[in-house]
Amino acid sequence: MLNELFQVWRDLLTPQNPPEPKPDLQMVDWLPSVPHDRRIPDERDFSKRTIPASFVVVHTTGAGIVQKAFDKGIKDCREVARYACRYYARSGNGVSTHFLIDWDGYVWQILPLGVQGWHAGWKTNVRQLYAGTDWQRWSHPLGGSLAAQPPAGGYAAWKEAFPGLDSPAQLLPEGAPSPNTGSISVDLLAVPAGGPWTEAQKDTLNSLTLELCDRMNVERTAVTVLPHSYLDPMRRMTVKKSGKVQELAWDPKGWDDLLDFGS
Ligand SMILES: [Zn+2]
C-alpha cells in the first residue's frame, strides 16, 4: 500500500518520464519501512521466484551467533543484529534469510523479496518422505541412514496443529519442491541465555507478518505464517546414543504465544 502511494507520488513528481512497465512480481524490492542502514544485502546468486510468495516462515537465529558476537565484544543490540545479518549475508555458508527482528523490535533485511531464501530447504530424501505419510514413522532423517522406527512421541504436536493434513508438503503452494519456494523468511534474533522473546520482538513479528501478508495478498492465518519446525517436523526428531528417540523443542519457543491471529 505504502509502496503504491510512493509510486503514485513519484510519478507525479516526474511526469516527463514515460511510465515504466510495472515489475511482474510485486516482491522485487526492499521493504520501504526498513531504512538503508538496516539493509545488509546478500549479494550471492539467489534464484528469482518462479512461484509467487504466499507464506511466511518464522525461525530463530539460534543462540550460537549471538554468543559469537558477544565473544568479539559486541554487546549492543543493534550491533549484534548487524553481526548476525552479516553472518547470513556472507558467502561460505548455505543459509540466508529475508528478515531479522532484533531484541528492540527493529527489522533488518538481507534478501530482496523477489528471490528465494535458503532457510527451510528439504534434502532429496526428506522431500521423498514428505511426499507420502512414511515420514511419520521416520525418526532420524538427517543422519545418512534412515531408521524405520516410529518415534517415541510420534508427531502429535504437528498432527494437532494440522488435523486435516498428512504431510507438511500439503502446506506448500502447488509445484513447490521445498518450503524455500513461495516463502518469505523471518528470523528472530535469539535472546541470550534462552530468555523469552521481548515484547518488542513479538509486536514487530505481528506487524511485519501483517505487512508481508498484505503485500502477498494473502490473509494472515496460522497456515500463511508458520514456524520452521511445522514445515520440517522430521528435523526435530533425534536419536540419542542410547538409541532413545527424543523430540527436540520446537522452535521458535512458545510459538502459540508469539502471534495474535485474532479469532
Ligand atoms: Zn529455522
In a domain, 117, yes or no: yes
Length in residues, the chain:
263
Domain region containing 28: 2-258
| Domain contains 53 | yes
The rounded Å distance from CA 232 to ligand 1 centre is 9
What confidence score (pLDDT) does residue 14 get? 46
> Which residue ranges in the chain fall short of pLDDT 70?
1-28, 139-154, 235-252, 263
- 246 Cα: distance to centroid of ligand 1 (angstroms): 19
Q: Please give the pLDDT value at position 234.
A: 78
Which CATH number belongs to the domain containing residue 194 in this structure? Answer: 3.40.80.10
Between the CA of 121 and the centroid of ligand 1 the distance, in Å, is: 10
d(CA 212, CA 206): 10
pLDDT of residue 147: 55
248 CA distance to ligand 1 middle (Å) = 13
Q: How far apart are the C-alpha atoms of 64 and 66, rounded to whole Å?
A: 5
Q: How far is CA 48 from CA 111, 184, 218, in A?
A: 11, 13, 20
CA of 6 to the centre of ligand 1 (A): 33
In a domain, 174, yes or no: yes
**CA 17, CA 209: separation in Å to the nearest integer?**
34
Cα separations (Å) of 53 from 27, 28, 34, 108?
A: 8, 11, 19, 19
Within a domain: 118: yes
> Helix H segments across the chain?
2-13, 63-71, 77-89, 124-130, 156-161, 199-216, 228-231, 255-258
Q: Is residue 86 part of a domain?
A: yes
From ligand 1's centre to the CA of 231, what distance in Å? 9
User: pLDDT digit string (tens) for 199-250?
Assistant: 999 999 999 999 999 999 999 999 999 999 899 887 665 556 665 555 555 5
Q: How close is the Cα of 17 to the center of ligand 1, in Å?
A: 44
Q: pLDDT at position 202, please?
A: 96
Give me Rg for the CA atoms of the chain. Answer: 20
Inter-residue contact 110 to 98 (CB < 8 Å): yes
The residue with cell 498428512 is 166
Tell me how far the alpha carbon of residue 25 lies from the centroid of ligand 1, in angstroms. 26
Q: What is the pLDDT of residue 4?
A: 57
263 assigned to some structural domain: no
Into how many domains does the chain fold? 1
The beta-carbon contacts of 16-24 under 8 Å, at least 24 apart in sequence, are 23/114
DSSP 3-state assignment of 134? helix
Claim: this prediction has a pTM higher than 0.75: yes
User: How far apart are the two ends of the chain, measured CA to CA in Å?
Assistant: 25
Cell (9 digits) for 112 = 530482496
pLDDT score recorded for residue 15: 43
Separation of CA 24 and ligand 1 centre (Å): 29
For residue 175, is it within any domain? yes
Q: How far is the CA of 61 from the centre of ligand 1 (A)?
A: 7
Tell me how far the alpha carbon of residue 96 lies from the centroid of ligand 1, in angstroms.
Answer: 10
Task: Examine residue 107 and state whether it is found in any structural domain, yes or no.
Answer: yes
* Cα–Cα distance, 55 to 92 (Å, whole number): 27
Residues 6+ apart with CB under 8 A from 21: none
